[in-house]
Amino acid sequence: MPTPAKGPRLGGGAAHERLMLANLSAALFEHKRITTTVTKAKRLKPYAERLVTFAKRGDLASRRRVLGLISNKGIVHELFTDIAQAVENREGGYTRITKIGNRKGDNAPMAVIELVLEPVSAKQAVVAEATSAAKRDADKKEATAAAPAAEEAPEAEVVETEAVEAEAAEAPAEEAATEEAPAAEEAAPAAEEKDAK
């Protein structure tokens, strides 16, 4: 069991504290949530979570160990069958403490401690989505870092392509000019013959 905190114990003696924690955990496993003082809830949390860990093991030695602390066999059976199956995929954090204000009579700070029996898959989906979003952002950053280098290469290719296209455009113009020159020479004698007639 967890080492007790320093200072005054709950109740008065060590035996009284052990019995109080056993009874509180039995009530917690039976009702799934209980209202108690904040101090008792904080002391109960590691105690109850340790018992749930034993229940998740499920072997005979663990069952006998829990039966040594909680004498009600019905509650131990419920712990080992229902609660252990509900938290099967959860790795710790089987209880939740919620503060609810002060008690009316002595103004003691009160809290609700409850078992966390919700499936873990919803949280895993959120974590998986966050992980994939982080990966996409990292991929985008890498792509933007690689993009300037990639942009410089196409510009060089465009300049080379434009030069080749300009040369190709000049070559047909020169060919056309050379073709026009003999045609003009042929047209000139024809014009002279017309004038002569």
For domain 14-119, which architecture applies?
Alpha-Beta Complex (3.90)
Helix H or strand E encompassing 132: helix 121-196
Predicted local distance difference test score (pLDDT) of residue 152: 55
CB 83, CB 115: distance < 8 Å: yes
Helix H or strand E encompassing 87: none
Buried b (16+ CB within 10 A) or exposed e, 62-98: bbeebeebbeeeebbebbbeebbebbeebeeebbeee
Dist. CA 10–CA 7, nearest whole Å: 10
Predicted local distance difference test score (pLDDT) of residue 164: 56
Nearest one of 54, 88, 94 to 70, comparing CA atoms: 54
Question: Half-sphere exposure of residue 195, counting CA atoms within 13 Å on the CB side?
Answer: 6
CB 115, CB 32: distance < 8 Å: yes
pLDDT digit string (tens) for the chain, length 197 residues: 666 666 677 877 888 999 999 999 999 999 999 999 999 999 999 999 999 999 999 999 999 999 999 999 999 999 999 999 999 888 889 999 999 999 999 999 999 999 998 887 665 667 777 888 888 888 888 888 876 655 555 555 555 556 556 666 665 555 555 555 555 555 555 555 555 55
Residue with tokens 């992980």: 131
Helix H or strand E encompassing 102: strand 95-102
Single pTM value for the model: 0.59
CB 2, CB 50: distance < 8 Å: yes
Predicted local distance difference test score (pLDDT) of residue 32: 94
Predicted local distance difference test score (pLDDT) of residue 178: 54
Domain locations in the chain as residue ranges: 14-119
